[in-house]
Chains A and B, each alone.
Chain A
Amino acid sequence: METIVNSRIKQVLKGDQNAYGEIVELYKDKIFQLCYRMLGNRHEAEDVAQEAFIRAYINIQSFKQGKKFSSWIYRIATNLCIDRIRKKKPDYFLDAEVPGTEGLTMYSQIASDSVMPEDKLVRLELQETVQKEISKLPEKYRAVIVLKYMEELSLNEISEILDIPLGTVKTRIHRGRETLRQQLRNL
């Protein structure tokens, strides 16, 4: 996949915008998921994920050939998410609401829309709770947990994306796991 991406990047560097569309297609789900798990809100996730791709396009000259594009775009997106979280009030995103649907969280929206088997509802509720607990983590722990367990990246990749030493990645993952364990133990 990296070979395809590198040849598309060469086209983009020559000014071919359409080639960039193919790159976006390849990574859009991963980047959107990262933003959603970091921000806990679809609208904000879409906003930030789009901004990440647009920034990557504008700064494509500074992308070093031979490096992994995925790490680069993950890094841009993660930094944008962290910036966004820091700008918000710390408790705002805990009960993330979709604008115009006051009082409804993602879970209750899905649940009210359709009749579902009991176990599916329970599963959705559980996922909602987990997402909420992830959203409560301090952003530096949140980033490593999301990158490791939702994006399924290796610790080395995470160290490259966040530009921090491998040892720091491990410490943050340990703390993140411990915090989540305490929150989720009674489920």
Chain B
Amino acid sequence: MSCPEKYTAYMHDYLDEDISEQRALELSEHIQSCGTCEEHFKELKRTIALVQGTAHIKAPEGFTEDIMAKLPKEKRKVELNRWFKNHPFLSAASLFFLLMAGSLFSNWNQEEQFSYSKQPNILVENDTVIVPEGEVVKGDILVRNGKVQIEGEVQGDVTVINGEISGEKYLAAAGKVTGEISEVNEIFDWIWYHIKTTVKNTFNMNEDEERSLQ
């Protein structure tokens, strides 16, 4: 019981691998001759073994997902970048559309003459394409630089580029269009229209016949 304090300190230094050779030797000599310190040292080593022996435990299921769900929302730009990275085909397609938009811009200004899709039962008066009352047009109607007046029925899409659909307001009463009706009067509508038709044509392969008046 009258062992100097320093031996306990040496034991801990030894366990921390932070002891000089000379002190280590001193400690081991003392332990060989002192039962109390020998026991103390043994107990310390056993304590460490017990603590180290507790099983390693793993984070519960779904731990990471839970955290990710709780994080504040990330910036939109990064989300878009990653989307492009993960969808290389679609981003290539987007790039293609953008380039095409450039060439379309000149088309937009060049094509100034009146033209329309030639459908059998339609009337043309000046720059107005008329679907007469009681007539049924089977197919799409595309008109450039003119108007469309719908009094009968169109079983397809009606698109007017740089013009207007004048029958539209009384469609509910008289005329009927089964497909989409769109007026394209702005450059972005124009680009959008081309993107849509390109996609449609690519996937459906249904080219609509469009002929010029001239």
Beta-carbon contact of B58 and A177 below 8 Å: no
Nearest Cβ on chain A to B56's Cβ, whole angstroms = 7
B134 within 8 A of A: no
Which parts of A159-178 form the interface with B (CB within 8 Å)?
170, 173-174, 177-178
Beta-carbon contact of A130 and B54 below 8 Å: yes
Beta-carbon contact of A185 and B12 below 8 Å: no
* A50 CA / B156 CA spacing, docked (Å): 56
* A29 CA / B82 CA spacing, docked (Å): 28
B64 within 8 A of A: yes
Q: Secondary structure of the B side of the interface?
A: helix
Beta-carbon contact of A134 and B51 below 8 Å: yes
Beta-carbon contact of A46 and B63 below 8 Å: yes
A105 within 8 A of B: no
| In the complex, chain A residues whose CB is within 8 Å of the CB of B12 | 170, 173-174, 177
Beta-carbon contact of A28 and B64 below 8 Å: yes
Q: Report the interface size for chain A: residues with CB under 8 A from the other chain.
A: 43
| In the complex, chain B residues whose CB is within 8 Å of the CB of A15 | 74-75, 77-78
| In the complex, chain B residues whose CB is within 8 Å of the CB of A149 | 48, 51-52
* A57 CA / B69 CA spacing, docked (Å): 13
Binary interface encoding of chain A residues 107-149 relative to chain B, with 1 for a CB under 8 A from any of its CBs, else 0: 0000000000000000000110011001000000000010001
Q: Which of A17, A54, A177 is close to B15, meaning CB atoms less than 8 Å apart?
A: A177
Binary interface encoding of chain A residues 18-31 relative to chain B, with 1 for a CB under 8 A from any of its CBs, else 0: 10110011001101
Nearest Cβ on chain A to B6's Cβ, whole angstroms = 13
B72 within 8 A of A: yes
Nearest Cβ on chain A to B23's Cβ, whole angstroms = 15
Beta-carbon contact of B57 and A33 below 8 Å: yes
Which parts of A1-51 form the interface with B (CB within 8 Å)?
14-18, 20-21, 24-25, 28-29, 31-33, 36-37, 42, 46, 49-50
Q: Which of A37, A50, A150, A174 is close to B67, meaning CB atoms less than 8 Å apart?
A: A50
A53 within 8 A of B: yes
B16 within 8 A of A: yes
B201 within 8 A of A: no
* A162 CA / B53 CA spacing, docked (Å): 24
Beta-carbon contact of A173 and B74 below 8 Å: no
| In the complex, chain A residues whose CB is within 8 Å of the CB of B58 | 29, 32-33
Q: List 25 A-B contacts (CB under 8 A).
A: A15-B78, A16-B78, A17-B78, A20-B71, A21-B67, A28-B59, A29-B58, A32-B57, A49-B59, A49-B63, A50-B63, A127-B54, A131-B54, A134-B51, A150-B51, A155-B16, A170-B12, A173-B12, A177-B12, A177-B44, A177-B47, A178-B44, A181-B43, A184-B50, A185-B47
The 10 closest A-B pairs by CB, nearest first: A32-B59, A28-B59, A15-B78, A17-B74, A15-B75, A174-B12, A149-B51, A181-B47, A24-B64, A127-B54
